[in-house]
């Protein structure tokens, strides 16, 4: 097992630009008012991280005190864009997200106002995401024989697959998987592999109750031709993906 280091150099930026050209959902970061997010209760302003910390206490049971989830199947939400988290809470509250652990999330989300959602989102957005490790077991059979398991997913993340019309994952999620706060694309680096695989399987299935399914359909177009092996490998690669900061050591990466 080994950590995967994210290289955000010129080469990656060039690849990201090329991948963006393949995508039909290109959006630049924006400074729109909070009403641009699908939060129906108004008024609401940009989130207050300090207020959000107090409101997020109940979230710690599954997502951890700082959003680095320790509960199996709960996503790591530390470092997620504020707007993305607020939007997901809104989807749970309005019954649009029904898959996975929605039954657990709905009662909590129902109690939140639009401002609460922004505040909780701001708190977790201010936290630092940890990372796991990627599976470097050598594949012994099939079309990917002799590749390390995570390398199948790494190729999709970095380059996509032009033959199948799949853009590079980093086109929307960034070379280091940090996401994009403008169009509310989530950060995915360090995310639990089981959670990533489940979400990709849901996108591949292509069924949603979202009233505005643009982002869901974008992900469905990406996931619909992925094999089970590709999904699991991509999930493993993402789990080990992290940003390198000054002074980072191999021992300090995994949390």
- For 63-100, b where at least 16 C-beta lie within 10 A, e where not — what string? bbebbbbeeeebbbbbbbbbbbbbbbbbbbbbebbeee
pLDDT for the residue numbered 90: 96
pLDDT for the residue numbered 131: 86
Q: How far is CA 76 from the centre of its chain?
A: 9
Q: What span, in angstroms and rounded, lies between the C-alpha atoms of 187 and 180?
A: 7
Q: Which part of the chain has CATH 1.10.760.10? A: 4-23+131-253, 46-125
Residue with token string 């470097």: 136
101-127 pLDDT tens trace: 899 999 999 999 999 999 999 999 999
* Contact (Cβ atoms closer than 8 angstroms) between residue 85 and residue 124: yes
pTM of the model: 0.79
170-191 pLDDT tens trace: 999 999 999 988 888 999 999 9
Provide CB contacts within 8 A for 218, sequence distance 6+.
23, 24, 25, 172
pLDDT for the residue numbered 40: 54
Q: 3-class SS at 3? A: coil
Q: What is the CATH number of domain 46-125?
A: 1.10.760.10
| Percent residues over pLDDT 90 in the chain | 70
31-74 pLDDT tens trace: 444 444 445 555 567 899 999 999 999 999 999 999 999 777 89
Instruction: Work out the average pLDDT over 69-91.
Output: 91
CATH architecture under which domain 4-23+131-253 falls: Orthogonal Bundle (1.10)
Cα dist from 235 to 180, 194, 200, whole Å = 19, 7, 9
Q: How confident is the model at residue 232 (pLDDT cuts 50, 70, 90)?
A: very high
pLDDT for the residue numbered 71: 76
pLDDT for the residue numbered 216: 96
């Amino acid at each position: 097992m080994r950590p995967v280091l994210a290289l955000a150099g010129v080469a990656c930026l060039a690849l990201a630009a090329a991948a963006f050209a393949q995508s039909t959902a290109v959006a630049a970061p924006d400074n729109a008012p909070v009403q641009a997010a699908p939060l129906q209760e108004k008024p609401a302003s940009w989130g207050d991280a300090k207020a959000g910390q107090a409101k997020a206490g109940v979230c710690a049971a599954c997502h951890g005190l700082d959003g680095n989830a320790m509960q199996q199947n709960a996503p790591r939400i530390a470092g997620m864009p504020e707007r993305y988290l607020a939007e997901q809470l809104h989807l749970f509250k309005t019954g649009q997200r029904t898959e996975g652990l929605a039954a657990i999330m709905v009662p909590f989300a129902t109690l939140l106002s639009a401002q609460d959602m922004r505040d909780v989102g701001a708190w977790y957005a201010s936290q630092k995401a940890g990372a796991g490790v990627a599976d470097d077991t050598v594949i012994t059979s099939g079309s990917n024989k002799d590749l390390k398991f995570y390398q199948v997913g790494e190729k999709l993340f970095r380059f996509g697959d032009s033959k199948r019309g799949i853009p590079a994952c980093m086109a929307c999620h960034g070379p280091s998987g940090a996401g994009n706060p403008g169009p509310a694309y989530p950060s995915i680096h360090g995310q639990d592999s089981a959670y990533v695989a489940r979400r990709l399987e849901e996108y591949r299935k292509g069924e949603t109750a979202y009233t505005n399914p643009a982002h869901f359909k974008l992900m469905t177009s990406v996931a619909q031709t992925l094999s089970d092996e590709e999904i699991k490998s991509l999930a493993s690669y993402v789990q080990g993906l992290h940003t390198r900061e000054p002074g980072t050591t191999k021992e300090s990466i995994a949390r």
